[in-house]
Structure 1
Amino acid sequence: MTPLPEEQWDDAMRDALSPLLSEDRRNSRDAGNVLATLLRHPDLTRGYLHFNAHLLLNSTLSPRIREVALLRAVHLRGCDYLWDHHIAIAERAGVTAADLDRIRAGDSSDAVDRLVVATVDEIDRSHTLADDTWMRLREFFDERQILDLLFTVGCYQSLAVAVNVLAIAPEHP
């Protein structure tokens, strides 16, 4: 599927972007190719963006931990689009170029980042978490943070699959 051209957007489609984008940003440039493609199903877009907006804007995780988790998740799904899209966001959250290389490699020099990467890998591999992983997570995160972590990983695994299946092209190749 291709992004829906902005001249075909109606008010309901623009409104579907409202959970994540302010009114002045509800355009094809700010929506990007992912959201412009999802607008082919406005109800799905609205529902997904409510969920995604929580993870991006209201999560109990720090922006750095959120980005470490989602970057590892999209890397494991082979989704270059989302990896590239989140580099600038991750950098603003304090993730360095060296950190990015370690996330790709499945490692980190930081103990919490390393735990997050290992957690994403375990979820990806076994679709669950061992008791030992739960205990380690509880050393650093409370219950709400663990839930936000699990749903961040799942959300971005799912989005990465959709982006890959739909063959969504980067905005600036």
Structure 2
Amino acid sequence: MTRDVAARMDEVCGNAPRLEPLSDEALGEREMDVILRMRELTAYPVEQPVHPFFTTLAHQPAFFEAYMQLGISAMASAELPQRTRELIILRTGWLCGAPYQFGEHVVTARKIGVTADEIERIKQGSSAEGWAEGDRAILRAAEELHADAMISDATWAGLAERLSPRELIELMMIAGHYHLTAFIQNSLRFRLNDYNLGLESV
């Protein structure tokens, strides 16, 4: 998929956020408990203020808690290797034109050994040269879920040779969760953190 990166970055990040985040003091105990759990998993410094992404979603506390719990499960309970999860998330983020999501997960992926060359090939997709067949199947699944809301028989067969039933369920759930994340972050126009280069990340 060819994407005008500059135009998309301007569209999503070039305007003011659409909702104001709540103050930290306005968060309830349940919301703070979930946020603290996520901070533990990501080693986010406890002295830092709560991220505006969380304080904005907390306008709807029941949905916020359910959304966050799925993200926590994907991090803490998944059997899929972290590299596989990041391939799914990055390809989904790129296809959704999601600057915040893509840029944040480039940082995460680079920390676990995904190379700059691989990041560029994730942008090109499963048809790019150089992928191992397992990685290619993961990327193709993300593409098919994005384009057709299902995984084809051929791609499923390739995945099922390598993944357990639990891992197959996780793959689809993670792809869906990060579509939802892209919808939210793009529509609310979240600002990028200083280290986050959005769709220009490598």
CA distance in 2, matches of 1:8, 1:50: 20
**Corresponding letter in the other structure for 2:21:** P
Structure 2: tracts of 5 or more residues without a match: 1-18, 197-202
Which residues in structure 2 correspond to 1:126-137 (within 5 Å)?
126-137=148-159
Which residues in structure 2 correspond to 1:152-163 (within 5 Å)?
152-163=174-185
Alignment deviations for residues 11-53 of structure 1 (CA, whole Å, 9 cap, x no partner): 343234244234x969694642321211222222211111111
Residue 81 of structure 2 corresponds to: 62
Which residues in structure 2 correspond to 1:81-92 (within 5 Å)?
81-92=100-111
CA distance in 1, matches of 2:81, 2:180: 21
CA distance in 1, matches of 2:47, 2:90: 24
Could you say what secondary structure the match of 2:131 adopts? coil
CA distance in 2, matches of 1:98, 1:171: 23
**Corresponding letter in the other structure for 2:38:** L
Q: How far has the Cα of 1:130 moved from its partner? A: 1.7
1:33 and 1:170 in contact (8 A); partners too: no
State TM-score, norm by structure 2: 0.77
Alignment deviations for residues 102-136 of structure 1 (CA, whole Å, 9 cap, x no partner): 00111352221111111111111111122111111
Identity %: 24
Instruction: Give the structure with the higher percent helix.
Output: 1
Residue 118 of structure 2 corresponds to: 99
User: Which residue among 20, 35, 40 is the counterpart of 2:54?
Assistant: 35
Q: Which structure has the higher relative contact order (CA within 8 Å, separation 6+)? A: 2
State TM-score, norm by structure 1: 0.88
RMSD over aligned Cα atoms: 2.2
Q: How many residues align?
A: 172
CA distance in 2, matches of 1:45, 1:131: 35
